Every structure is written in C-alpha cells, then in structure tokens.
Amino acid sequence: MAGAVPDFELPENEHDREDLLERLRRLGEEEPARAARIALCEGIAAGLARVGQMLWVSGALVGPHRVSGESRHSFGDDRVVGIATVAQIGGELARGSVELLRSDNQYAAAALVRQLLEVEYLAHAFAGEHESAAAWLRADGDERRAFWTPKKIRARADGAFINEHYWSHCDRGGHPTTEGMTLLPDHSSQLDTPFLWADLAGHLASVWSYVMAAAALAYGGAFPGEWNPPDVDAALEAWRSSDALYAALQQINAARHANG
C-alpha cells in the first residue's frame, strides 16, 4: 500500500498532535493519491450497483429455492439475492457518500459511511459462509434483532472488526453527539475532507472484496467474469499504490488499538 510510508507514532502532547495532523493533511492533498482515492470511491459505487443488479436478476430467476418452497419471496436462489441486496445497498450508500463529500456535506456523508459499516459486516459474513445470505434474506424483524445486529455480527467475525471503530463512527455520524461537531460547517476544528475520503475508500475496498468473494462462493467459485467491471480492479491498484494517507491512518489506528 502506497510504497514507503513514514512511521507515525501516537502523539504524546498537543504539540505532537498538531504536528501529526499537519503531516497527515499534506499526505491527504498529494497527487495522484487524492485523485485515486476519489476515483476508487466512484468506481466501487458503480461496480457494486452493476454487480448487485446482475446478481439480483440471476438469483431472482434461477435456483432451487422457489421450487423447494424455501424462499419466502419466491426467488430462485435466496443466497444470490441476499448478496445482491447487500451489494446494491452498498452501492447506493457509496454513491450518496460520494455526492455528499463532493458538496462538502461532511456530517451527512459520515452518517452514510456509518451505515456502510453494517454493509461491510454483512458482506464479510456472507463471504465466510454464503448460505448465511439466504438466512439473512429470510429473517423477519425478530430474527434480525436476535442474530443480525452489528454487535452480534462482530462477535461472530473472529476479530475482523473492532468495537471502538464502530462506536467512533456512531459518535460522528450515527446518534447526534458533540463528537459530530468536527463535521459541521464553520467550526474551527472541522475535519479535513481528505480524511473522510480515505475512510470511505478503505471501507469500500473491503465491501467490494467481501461481496466478490461471497458471490464467487455462491457460484461455486466460478463467478461470471464479465460481471466484474475491470475498471474497479484498475482503480484499486492505483489507490493501493498511491494512498499514503490511508496507510498512515491504518498504522496509527493499529498502534492505538495495540495500546488499548
């Protein structure tokens, strides 16, 4: 990721914190990383919409579950439709986040990214066991609250997700709290938009990889290649090879988590 990334240590005082933020700000404005970050978000938003649509059509028409009576909605394959639904939701959230960040509406964008985390959780679960996509699709409200809440999905994810990471997104873009002040206009402490683009890019890269893995499982490892937009792979490569800001933020978050 991004070639050589300088070491970033957790700040010990206010002076160190300001120095760190300034270094990160400079990384956020560097080209071609800035352009690659935005292009990735736009590319995955479109890619999720396309893949979701193809999966939806296929799963709605073809499969054993309508005949067996297992599908509550008379779909052909509930697994494929479950993955399709999560992909399409992810695509819509991504598209909305991109539009909001482009208009500098940081708070609303953060609210959508917080929802995108839950899409990431579901896609991760489906990538590990594609049959779970059918169980999710068939679940009623009580079953979703009993089994599919974010907390319960995290508990089953074998450490793939950090509780504090989800809570920090809830504080900034979920429940209205004072933590969200840094995302509001005309505040002296307003967060720099490149940080939000980097966060969105990282989550979308994960969502994309999980959705594609889940879809491949559902198709016995032979996911139709023509459904995979090639420009997404190119955008991922360009982003991974250039975005030192995202790599630095990952390094800092890992150090913070290691220190408890």
% of residues, the chain, pLDDT over 90:
68
Q: What is the pLDDT of residues 95-106, one digit of tens each?
A: 999 999 999 999
The region of weakest confidence among 72-81, 169-178, 220-229, 230-239 is 220-229
| Residue 174 confidence (pLDDT) | 87
Taking only the tens place, the pLDDT of each residue in 178-194 is 988 889 988 866 678 99
How many angstroms separate the CA atoms of 120 and 223, rounded? 20
Output the six-digit token pair for 253: 């978050």
Q: Give the residue extent of every domain in the chain.
A: 33-258
Q: pLDDT digits over 231-252, tens only?
A: 999 999 999 999 999 998 888 8
Mean predicted confidence (pLDDT) in 68-80: 95
Q: DSSP letters of 196-221?
A: HHHHHHHHHHHHHHHHHHHHHHHTTT
Residue 6 pLDDT greater than 60, yes or no: no
Residue 1 predicted with pLDDT over 60: no
**For 115-129, what is the mean pLDDT?**
97
Separation CA 123–CA 135 (nearest Å): 13
In the predicted model, what is the mean pLDDT of residues 126-138?
94
Q: Residue 259: is its pLDDT beyond 90?
A: no
Contacts of 99 (CB under 8 A, 6+ apart): none
**pLDDT higher than 80, residue 14:** no
- Confidence class for position 51, pLDDT limits 50, 70, 90: very high
pLDDT at 260: 56
Name, in order, each residue with C-beta under 8 angstroms of 243's C-beta and a sequence gap of 6 or more: 1, 2, 33, 36, 37, 198, 201
Residue 130 pLDDT: 82
Average pLDDT along the chain: 89
Residue written as token pair 């579901």: 122
